[in-house]
């Protein structure tokens, strides 16, 4: 199969064995790769009643047919499994170089099941795999693990967990270099299996169907993408701070306020201690920031992305970007999702404000936040409660009506009262609240895909938002199957050309929506088996109240209108939440 290595490595940690699972051409023709392929494979192979932190849960690291090729911004990997934070479908994407090197090692994916009795590490090289002891690595932070393994093994790429994953923090992530497969707590799943790290290396070639045509198109599109996205290369994702504040899209004080002095959190402010930038494999953008904080003794560490700046900056009323950077570094070393961690701490501060808690927390107290990050990773004191996520914390403190989440996952840092279509995206996303299953905020700022009916509209209008959000979900699900970064604003025809020239397929624009919709619906079927109910497709009450001072014309999303539109587009039954027989037949499911 062109674009594929043709096999998934299956690792049974209980039995200490490895085996091969061939790539199924039938599944690949319907789902391509990435999270789409993963959704079908895990649906078929997993016990959906499995405890997310038990040995029967499975963890699948998956690439796509473009991963490791010259196609721009395709060095990505997705990790999938049942989430310990939500109890439903879990999915976390990561850039860097691990995904490309996994393919160079001879595999399209790694399926991990069972549980090792002792800390383990998985070494993969040139099509062979070995399970070894990681007793000497247990307890180490992620930078310590990666430094030691690279010194010992040489040119390898590493995915590992930190103390947060070992301690089963329900929003622990998996780190590779300083990039994170952060959301849904899949680092805790890795920790529950006593799997500390995976190393990959190899020199195997990825065969494409049309080598000359593919190489020419990949190089041309990469050059154009680098020029088009120069602003992201120059400023990184922190460039969105000013944009988000302008549109009231950036959370302030746990999504309660609209005014905050944000000048010290911008990309301009970061230039004071910026020392470089990093790029993922085959990416011409290089949006990653490298910073040095001399006074803290931190040299050449990863600078915070927008989501982290919002989570620990504006949402906690912390205006010191250096402090936010220190917190970001701590989260990376412990292996914590910054979105969920920042939101959980903001919720605790909110409860202190309301007199429901007495933890001595005050808005803007960065040093106290740092203490809490340490406590969460170690599961000590109140950190032990927060480590279980905002929803469980809320139940313990009789505040379930105040917590901002969807399906158990903390809402990321875009406000659905600023961009209406995000309401549908949050409410229906397969992994709980995420901005990555449909970026309606960018659609309504002009990032359209007219070839498949994704058109900009009034950001404060409910009409047609449900169906537009569904198409945006389908498009992003297609991206997450071929494994291309969402920042790659490549012309639509070029995307199709790259996939077709790589795999030998003849995909059309209609196929893009079909493949995407199939993946979205397959994940829905997974969630229904896990006990999802249609009532779970909702927004939390605090996000259905107008922002103060009519910042967005007193707008709140009309969930009934949007979800009616969405369900009709999908062909899902509103009463049961399930896809109709006709929909399943149309999608070949």
DSSP annotation string for 499-543: HHHHH-----HHHHHHHHHHHHHHHHHHHHHTT--GGGS---GGG
Q: Tokens 């002009």, residue? A: 446
What tokens appear for 179 in the block?
A: 């990039």
Going from the first residue of the chain to its last (589 residues), give the mean pLDDT of each consecutive group of 10, the final group possibly shorter. Answer: 98 98 97 98 97 98 98 97 98 98 98 98 98 98 98 97 98 97 98 98 98 98 95 96 96 95 96 97 97 96 98 98 98 98 98 96 97 98 98 98 98 97 98 97 96 96 97 98 95 97 97 98 98 97 90 92 98 96 98
CA 316 to chain centre: 22
CATH of domain 230-398: 1.10.569.10
Return the CATH class of domain 421-487+508-587: mainly alpha
Return residue ranges of the chain for CATH 3.60.9.10: 7-201
Packing angle of the helix pair 509-529, 34-45 (nearest 10 deg): 30
CATH 3.30.70.100 fits 7-201, yes or no: no
| Pairing of the two strands 409-410 and 405-406 | antiparallel
User: How far apart (Å, rounded) are the C-alpha atoms in residues 455 and 427?
Assistant: 21
Return residue ranges of the chain for CATH 1.10.599.10: 421-487+508-587
User: How far apart (Å, rounded) are the C-alpha atoms in residues 372 and 383?
Assistant: 6
pLDDT on residue 548 = 83
pLDDT on residue 580 = 98
CA distances from 93 to 125, 326, 492 (A): 23, 23, 22
Residue 345 · residue 171 · CB < 8 Å = no
Q: What is the DSSP letter of 237?
A: G
Please list the alpha-helical segments (H only) found in 278-389: 306-312, 321-334, 338-353, 366-378, 382-386
- DSSP string covering 362-425, please? -TT-HHHHHHHHHHHHHT-THHHHHTT-HHHHHHHTT-TTT--EETTEE--S--TTTSTHHHHH
**Would you call 184 helix, strand, or coil by DSSP?**
helix
pLDDT on residue 550 = 75
Between the two ends of the chain, the Cα-to-Cα distance in Å is: 23
pLDDT on residue 551 = 81
């Amino acid at each position: 199969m062109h674009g594929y290595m043709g096999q998934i490595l299956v690792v049974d940690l209980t039995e200490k064995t490895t085996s091969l699972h061939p790539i199924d051409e039938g599944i690949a023709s319907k789902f391509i790769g990435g999270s789409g392929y993963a959704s079908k494979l895990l649906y078929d192979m997993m016990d959906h009643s499995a405890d997310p932190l038990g040995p029967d849960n499975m963890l699948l690291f998956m690439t796509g047919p473009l991963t490791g090729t010259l196609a721009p911004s395709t060095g990505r990997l997705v990790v999938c499994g049942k989430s310990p934070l939500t109890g439903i479908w879990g999915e976390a994407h990561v850039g860097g170089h691990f995904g490309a090197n996994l393919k160079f090692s001879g595999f399209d994916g790694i399926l991990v099941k069972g549980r090792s009795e002792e800390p383990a590490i998985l070494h993969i090289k040139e099509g062979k795999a070995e399970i070894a002891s990681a007793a000497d690595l247990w307890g180490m932070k992620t930078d310590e693990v990666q430094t030691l393994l690279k010194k010992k093994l040489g040119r390898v790429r590493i995915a590992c967990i930190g103390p947060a994953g070992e301690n089963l923090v329900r929003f622990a992530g998996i780190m590779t270099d300083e990039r994170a497969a952060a959301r849904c707590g899949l680092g805790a799943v890795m920790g529950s299996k006593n799997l500390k790290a995976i190393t990959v290396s190899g020199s195997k070639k990825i065969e494409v169907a049309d080598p000359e045509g593919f190489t020419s198109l990949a190089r041309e599109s990469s050059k154009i993408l680098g020029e088009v996205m120069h602003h992201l290369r120059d400023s990184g994702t922190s460039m969105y701070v000013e944009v988000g504040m302008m549109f009231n899209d950036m959370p302030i004080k746990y999504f309660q306020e609209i005014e905050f002095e944000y000048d010290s959190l911008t990309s301009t402010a970061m230039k004071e201690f910026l020392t470089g930038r990093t790029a993922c494999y085959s990416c011409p953008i290089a949006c990653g920031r490298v910073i040095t904080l001399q006074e803290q003794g931190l040299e050449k560490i990863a600078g915070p992305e927008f989501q982290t700046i919002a989570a620990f900056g504006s949402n906690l009323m912390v205006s010191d970007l250096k402090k936010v950077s220190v917190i970001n570094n701590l989260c990376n070393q412990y292996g914590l999702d910054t979105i969920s961690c920042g939101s959980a701490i903001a919720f605790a501060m909110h409860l202190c404000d309301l007199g429901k808690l007495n933890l001595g927390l005050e808005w803007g107290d960065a040093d106290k936040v740092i203490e809490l990050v340490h406590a969460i990773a170690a599961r000590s004191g109140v950190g032990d409660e927060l480590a279980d996520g905002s929803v469980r914390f809320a139940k313990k403190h009789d505040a379930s009506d105040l917590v901002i989440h969807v399906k158990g996952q903390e809402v990321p840092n875009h406000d659905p009262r600023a961009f209406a279509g995000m309401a549908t995206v949050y409410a229906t996303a397969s992994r709980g609240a995420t901005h990555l299953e449909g970026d309606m905020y960018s659609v309504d700022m002009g990032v359209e895909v007219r070839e498949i009916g994704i058109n900009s509209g009034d950001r404060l209008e409910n009409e047609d938002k449900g169906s537009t959000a569904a198409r945006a979900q389908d498009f992003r699900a297609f991206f997450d199957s071929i494994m291309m970064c969402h920042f790659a604003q490549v012309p639509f025809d070029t995307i199709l050309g790259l996939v077709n020239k790589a795999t030998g397929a003849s995909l059309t624009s209609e196929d893009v929506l079909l493949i995407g919709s199939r993946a979205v619906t397959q994940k829905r079927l997974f969630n229904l088996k896990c006990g999802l109910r249609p009532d779970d497709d909702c927004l939390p009450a605090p996000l259905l109240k107008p922002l103060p001072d009519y910042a967005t014309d007193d707008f709140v999303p009309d969930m009934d209108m949007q979800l009616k539109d969405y369900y009709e587009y999908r062909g899902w039954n509103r009463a049961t939440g399930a896809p109709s027989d006709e929909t399943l037949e149309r999608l070949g499911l």
